Structures are given as C-alpha cells and as structure tokens.
C-alpha cells in the first residue's frame, strides 16, 4: 500500500514538472524578444489597454496598384482580432481589398462596412508569440487569383508586409483609440 502512495506521488511530481517546464521555457523565450519588434509592441499595447482582448477591430490601410489593371488602385481594409488567452492564432490579421474609395464613400461608410464589401479575404496572418513572422506556429494564408485562402510559405516580402501593416496602420490607430 505504501509503495502505491509513493508511486502516485512520484507520478504526480513528474507530471507537474512536465507541465511547468515547457511554460517556463516559453516565458524565457518570450522575454528574449526584441522590444522594438512590431508584434511585441502590439501585444504590449493590447495587454495593457484592452485587457488582452481585441475583437473585430477594422481599419483602412494602404492603396496599391490593381495587379489585373495597374492603372487602377485598390484599398486594403484590415480586421484585427487578438486574444492573449488563445494558444493558436493569438493574433489574427485579415486583409481584404476593395476599389479605391471616394471621399464621399469614406464619410458614409465605416471600416467594417468597407471590409464587408470586400466579400473575401486576400490574405491572413496568424501569430502566436512576439517575434518575426515565420516562427513556429505562425501562419500566412494568401488567396490566389481564382481561389480561396491557402497556406503559403512565409517570405521576406510577407514579413515586410506584416510589419508594415502593424507599424503604419494598426499600432497608430490603436494608440489613438
């Protein structure tokens, strides 16, 4: 009987160590992130000002040439969703494109309505931890000209686009909020 109690106590101790060790390693890894990292700055802002949650935040982003007709410009519209309690996809950035808005349209429609006009996502970024896009668990999805979103390799161009969305649009908009 006594051996069974020792066995149960030993198994419980091993289980506890197995659960604590990975989270301690994750915290150590998280602490080594560059404080100038855009994702780190965004996480800090959202954890401090929004209690670690931001649901369906919409904003207009940059104009860019239409790949099918370079004489026209498209407007990027993004939706940001963040929940520090979620393990996978803690941060999700959805990107849609619409035709360039007129000044009157910008006065009439809010960013959510413009996002809904886009009908389908052209790209999606998912991050778990601060740091450069492309770490374990990060996802980059992109739609092809005639297909839905699909996972694609994370390139330097995707990293630059992700960083630009955060530094030029998302962080400044949230800091004004």
Q: Tell whether 24 and 90 lie within a shared domain.
A: no
Task: Tell me how crowded residue 84 is: count the other CB atoms within 10 A of its CB.
Answer: 14
Distance CA 86, CA 46 (A): 14
In this prediction, residues 144-163 reach a mean pLDDT of 92
Q: Tell whether 129 and 154 lie within a shared domain.
A: yes
Q: Tell whether 160 and 125 lie within a shared domain.
A: yes
**Total domain count, the chain:** 2
Distance CA 149, CA 33 (A): 29
How does the average pLDDT of the chain come out, rounded? 84
Q: What does pTM read for this prediction?
A: 0.80
Q: Tell whether 23 and 100 lie within a shared domain.
A: no
Q: Tell whether 59 and 146 lie within a shared domain.
A: yes
Q: Report residue 17's pLDDT band, with 50, 70 and 90 as the boundaries.
A: very low
Q: Tell whether 9 and 59 lie within a shared domain.
A: no
- pLDDT, position 120: 87
Please give the residue range of the domain that contains residue 168. 33-176
Q: Tell whether 28 and 43 lie within a shared domain.
A: no
The SS3 of residue 155 is coil
In tens, the pLDDT along 63-95 reads 999 888 889 999 999 999 999 998 877 999 999
Q: Report residue 33's pLDDT band, with 50, 70 and 90 as the boundaries.
A: confident
H or E stretch covering 93: strand 91-99
Task: Tell me how crowded residue 102 is: count the other CB atoms within 10 A of its CB.
Answer: 9
Q: pLDDT: is 11 or 44 the higher one?
A: 44
In this prediction, residues 31-43 reach a mean pLDDT of 88
Q: Tell whether 15 and 71 lie within a shared domain.
A: no
Q: pLDDT: is 67 or 116 the higher one?
A: 116
């Amino acid at each position: 009987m006594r051996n069974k109690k020792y066995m149960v106590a030993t198994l419980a101790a091993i289980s506890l160590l197995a659960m604590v060790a990975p989270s301690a390693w994750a915290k150590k890894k998280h602490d080594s992130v560059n404080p100038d990292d855009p994702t780190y700055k965004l996480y800090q802002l959202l954890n401090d000002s929004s209690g670690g949650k931001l649901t369906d935040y919409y904003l207009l982003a940059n104009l860019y040439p239409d790949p099918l007709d370079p004489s026209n410009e498209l407007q990027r519209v993004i939706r940001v969703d963040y929940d520090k309690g979620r393990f996978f996809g803690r941060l999700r950035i959805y990107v849609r494109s619409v035709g360039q808005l007129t000044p009157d349209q910008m006065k009439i429609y809010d960013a959510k309505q413009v996002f809904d006009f886009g009908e389908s996502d052209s790209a999606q970024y998912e991050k778990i931890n601060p740091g450069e896009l492309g770490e374990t668990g990060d996802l980059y999805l992109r739609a092809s000209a005639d297909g839905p979103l699909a996972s694609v390799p994370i390139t330097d161009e995707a990293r630059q686009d992700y960083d630009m969305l955060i530094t030029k649009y998302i962080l400044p908009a949230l800091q004004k909020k």
